[in-house]
Amino acid sequence: MKLLSTSALSLCLLLSAGAFADRVKHIEQTVDASMLASVRLEISVGELEIETYDGDEIQLEIDLEAKRSWLSWRRRDIADVELEVRENNSRVYLVIDERNIEQHWRIRMPAKLALDIDVGVGEIRIEDFSNDLEMEVGVGSVRIEVADMDYGLIHVQAGVGDAAIRGFSGRSDNERSFVSADAYYRGGGDRKIEIEVGVGDVVVINR
């Protein structure tokens, strides 16, 4: 009886480990960016952390975890979920379009690349950015720290929430209604940042 109980426990642990492996996944991938000018990221739900460096590779680490659905306690098997990489001329598209998966992206990317981001629900943090940026977020928070440089235009807006631009030497304008907020900055540079958040907060800070 003792041997039977031990065997049953071992089988249970193996089944649990297998079930856990089916609902979590780690992806590491490197993309050659030596011939690229811009990158577009498309993420349904998750967190995004980006730092820039002087190099020619986009280095990605992505952690995925399946969420429970509203109709069932079961989580979907995500073993077959992969990062989609598409190149079109000098632009690369990096996409994981899965609605019931939490995604946590950590990216090191060349500072020379312009960035275009589309996130459904999530939190975005970018450090030492110094290029063109366009971003659209349905629900979430955005914090962008730019390198010590000037921009020609920065426009950030939140449909429901707060929007702010801080640390620039020139004048920034802030417009706020009952629930929405817009912030503008116009300077002497030739780069631009445009961010729109449906519900949430967005801030751009010049370090």
Domain segments of the chain: what residues?
25-206
Integer Cα distance of 105 and 83 in angstroms: 11
Whole-number pLDDT of residue 12 = 43
| Residue 10, helix vs strand vs coil | helix
Q: How many CB atoms lie within 10 A of CB 97?
A: 12
The distance in angstroms from the start CA to the end CA of the chain is 67
Contact 157, 202 (CB under 8 A): yes
Contacts made by residues 126-130, CB under 8 angstroms, sequence distance 24+: 126/49, 126/50, 126/51, 127/50, 127/51, 127/52, 128/51, 128/52, 128/207, 129/50, 129/52, 130/52, 130/191
Looking at residue 77, its pLDDT comes to 76
Q: Of 90, 103, 89, 83, which Cα lies nearest the Cα of 28?
A: 83
Check residue 18 and give its pLDDT. 45
- CB of 115 within 8 A of CB of 134? yes
* Residue ranges of the chain with per-residue pLDDT less than 70: 1-21, 68-76, 171
Alpha carbons 167 and 170: distance in angstroms, whole number = 9
pLDDT at residue 79, rounded to an integer: 86
Please tell me the predicted confidence (pLDDT) of residue 154. Answer: 95
Sign of the alpha-carbon dihedral angle for 176, 41, 127, 190: negative
Q: What is the pLDDT of residue 20?
A: 47
